[in-house]
């Protein structure tokens, strides 16, 4: 799933919980909070079970992906 597709999916999941004119804005804010939490986990080095050589690459790829998702949410 591309970052843009993931951004839309996250916002749509949150939109169903709001029933007013600010639905999309609130959903975007919730999605941004969720992505920030994911990025924070990545920064806390949650991939300790991987070997050191693989750890850096996987964490960096995940961080890049979720940063792109966050940027796409902000564009919606």
Q: Is the pLDDT of residue 43 over 80?
A: no
3-state secondary structure of 61: helix
> pTM above 0.85?
no
Q: Give the model's confidence band at 22: pLDDT under 50 very low, under 70 low, under 90 confident, else very high.
A: confident
Task: Tell me which residue range forms the domain holding 15.
Answer: 3-75
68: burial class by Cβ within 10 Å (0-12, 13-18, 19+)? middle
Report the chain's mean pLDDT, rounded to a whole number.
Answer: 83
Residues recorded for the chain: 76
Count of the separate structural domains present in the chain: 1
């Amino acid at each position: 799933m591309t970052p843009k597709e993931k951004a839309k999916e996250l916002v749509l999941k949150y939109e169903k919980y709001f029933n007013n004119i600010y639905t999309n804005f609130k959903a975007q804010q919730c999605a941004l909070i969720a992505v920030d939490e994911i990025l924070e986990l990545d920064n806390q080095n949650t991939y300790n079970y991987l070997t050191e050589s693989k750890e850096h690459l996987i964490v960096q790829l995940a961080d890049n992906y979720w940063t792109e998702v966050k940027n796409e949410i902000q564009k919606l």
